[in-house]
Structure 1
């Protein structure tokens, strides 16, 4: 009897320890934010409709746009190292972010081959419950379409990257094409930079994979080499020239916080975008150590970005952040106005 009691106590303690470990892996730590002064009297302070104050003939590449890195990774296993956002997709859109970075793979376990959202090998989930369902691509597009219906002056750039070692690009393209064709009125899929008039009320498709199926429908097809060096480069951004546009990219995701901030500022000061040139300036990093902690780095980098004096009426391209909030989005997109 005594042995049985000891066994039950031991099992209970082990289960408690496992639950604590799972919670630690799933969630992140402190999410307190610093306060910064933002002009809330500006007519464009409404983060859900800020694009209505920009002229129709402006090309998207000329607009300074706040974006989120690994946009779906708000509820993800191994949260300490994998979580990149606090908010779900619809909240990000309402907070003013107009560029989504989506990583996809095919789910053969919990569904009949649907597209799911991932961060590398980790699955993204619908909520913070340890046992919640996976977050699927059609969950995200449902929120996206709802937002565009409610805010027809806006557009959202959706950049899709495949992170799936078990399926071909063609397999994923088939699923993506099905979604695009079923909801074609919501998508801009041409391989050229649209004006805001052409994009309002629609999602602008970008892809970071080759057209293996030969569909001719990949949107703005922009692939770039991984910038995974830890030792700082003399020039932190790289130029890519495509058929219909150019792209500057600064995505040094293994830099230390200090090196990353220097790379971001270098880009802000030297890579102005124009009607034929995008600039993607990622503030996100997993650090230069063996185990990354995106929240810890983002807390410092976001505060530094908030303190940086962005110039009005300047095309900084797309500034892509981890753990973005509404005020950080305002700080970025306010540069489109005087």
Structure 2
């Protein structure tokens, strides 16, 4: 039994028409002896340059060159409207199940091309015209002959496209769990492949940070060490919170359209308390309203641009409970239920099922993640003057936090990197194929909330992050209309 017919899902805000299908035999790469051929459920693409001559990255298949000779060409006219799926009757394998299709799409008189089954990462469609008005990104899911296309974004400043009035709770925001843990460390401690700076440049806008006061008896000390549980985040010495904050502010100065939500929690051994931490952060860090947003409510994007929005997972010292006319200080995310598949608490609605004690539980974790995506996707973002009254707007709902992270210190197969290797592709596939697929007039914005990830950016793989940002398209279209 061969592969199923071609399916195209348009997750962009513009209609697309498939115009030309060309068929090629798969170009192979000779693999070196002993190469470990790692297969994945989601077969990705590599971004091509305009010449089509791309250095091979995948272990099995080479990309097509621009001068590759097709063995068949078919002119078609298949329309795929925004946020719809077209299940065609097009056979994807005439000579072989591994044949490559070169698909040419058209929007507003301009054409764009994409090849299937080449290498391993998402691919921007190649414009076949000068001065293209749009950019698109595609992900190919091989086992289902499924092509998902979404609008490309400048990952360095993707928030620029969204309206100032948009509450942060309405956005689909990529995040990272234990964000600065990219250093050499115990494998159960390290959660990230690349630095926070690199994460910011590639679209991440939520950081999960854990700190330990270094001099809890000294009220004048600003020393906070970055930790993960009881462990330091690096085997080569203490890494300070101050350096991380400086790096974030530098990025925001260079990209004033952006914001970063920072979740801050106290961990590590010692005599320190939450109250001490809150005092240190208030006195030495989050004391400039031009650089930090600390009001205890979900801000609009316009209010948050250029700032760190502080989300506290710690209790407040008594004086801070009187901040902001007695409403307290910072977004409240203190004490949500442990190991929860879903908990509404303070300013957040959280999925944080983290005790994946056996590898068999990874599927259970994936299920909880996907259920939370659907909760977030059903929401309609209250944008004043667009989806709610401009004079008396509906207040924003909670921030939907979806932690993809989980681990078991004692089991190698359940360390963060091992779990992410299974979970990230599965989640990407779900978002491309199944998220918000119900038809009807009662759809939400199709967002996914804040998605908190492990090990993104490894070997240049930002597919999941790009896909999350792409989920803002329906809201962006609503705002621009």
TM-score when normalising by structure 1: 0.78
How do residues 269-280 of structure 1 correspond to structure 2 at under 5 angstroms?
Answer: 269-272=374-377, 273=379, 274=381, 275-280=396-401
Determine if the alignment matches structure 1 residue 333 to structure 2 residue 469: yes
- Asked if 2 retains the 8 angstrom alpha-carbon contact of 1:157 and 1:206, the reply is yes
Given that 1:64 and 1:333 are in contact with CA atoms closer than 8 Å, whether structure 2 keeps it comes out as: yes
CA contact (8 A) 1:44 1:53 kept: no
Q: Does 1:73 align with 2:157?
A: no
Which residue of 63, 68, 71 corresponds with 2:171?
63
Match of residue 59 from structure 2:
none
Higher share of residues assigned strand: 2
1:46-97 CA distance string (max 9 Å, x none)? 211100011111100000100001112111531x111100111111111100
Which residue in the other structure is 1:316 paired with? 448
Structure 1 position 184, deviation (Å): 3.8
TM-score between both structures, scaled by the size of structure 2: 0.56
- Change in CA separation of 1:209 and 1:108 when aligned onto 2, cut-off 3 Å: closer
Contact between 1:68 and 1:320, CA under 8 Å: does it hold in 2? Answer: yes
Which of 278, 283, 294 is equivalent to 2:404?
283
Contact 1:284 1:320 in 2 (8 A): yes
SS at match of 2:471: helix
Deviation at 1:225, TM superposition (A): 3.3
Residue from 251, 269, 282 that aligns with 2:352: 251
Corresponding residue SS for 1:190: coil
The DSSP-based 3-state class of the residue aligned with 2:276 is helix
Q: Counterpart of 1:192 in 2: which secondary structure? A: coil
The alpha carbon displacement at 1:315 in A equals: 2.4
Q: Which segments of 5 or more consecutive residues in structure 1 lack a partner in the other structure?
A: 1-30, 230-235
| 1:99 aligned partner | 206
1:135 CA drift (Å): 1.3
SS of 1:257 mapped into structure 2: helix
CA contact (8 A) 2:286 2:292 kept: no
Could you tell me whether the CA contact under 8 Å between 2:124 and 2:152 is conserved in 1?
A: no
3-state secondary structure, aligned to 2:281: helix
Aligned-pair CA distance for 1:174? 2.6
Unaligned segments of structure 2, at least 5 residues: 1-37, 45-119, 126-134, 137-150, 382-395, 438-444, 475-481
Aligned to 1:19: none
Structure 2 partner of 1:191: 296
**SS in structure 1 at match of 2:207:** strand
* Cα distance, 1:84–1:98 mapped onto 2, change above 3 Å: same
How far off its partner does 1:238 sit?
A: 1.7
Aligned to 1:140: 244
Instruction: Give the match's secondary structure for 1:185.
Output: coil
1:182 Cα deviation after fit? 5.2
Deviation at 1:226, TM superposition (A): 4.5
Q: Which is greater in Rg?
A: 2
Secondary structure of 1:296's counterpart equals: helix
Q: CA deviation at 1:271?
A: 3.9
Given the superposition, is the C-alpha separation of residues 150 and 225 from structure 1 closer, same or farther in structure 2, using an over 3 Å criterion? Answer: same
Q: Does 1:239 align with 2:344?
A: yes
SS at match of 2:319: coil
**What pairs up with 1:221-236 in 2 under 5 angstroms?**
221-228=332-339, 236=341
1:177 match = 282
Structure 1 residue 333 displacement after superposition: 1.0
1:4 paired residue number? none
Q: Is the 8 A contact 1:59 1:194 kept in 2?
A: yes
Answer whether contact 1:101 1:158 (CA < 8 A) is retained. yes
Q: Which has the higher contact order (CA 8 A, sep 6+)?
A: 1
Deviation at 1:39, TM superposition (A): 3.7
- Alignment partner for residue 50 of structure 1, among 136, 158, 161? 158
Q: Which has the higher helix share?
A: 1
Equivalent in 118, 122, 125 of residue 37 of structure 1 = 122
Aligned in 2, Cα 1:83/1:225: closer, same or farther, shift over 3 Å? same
Q: Shift of the alpha carbon at 1:157? A: 0.2
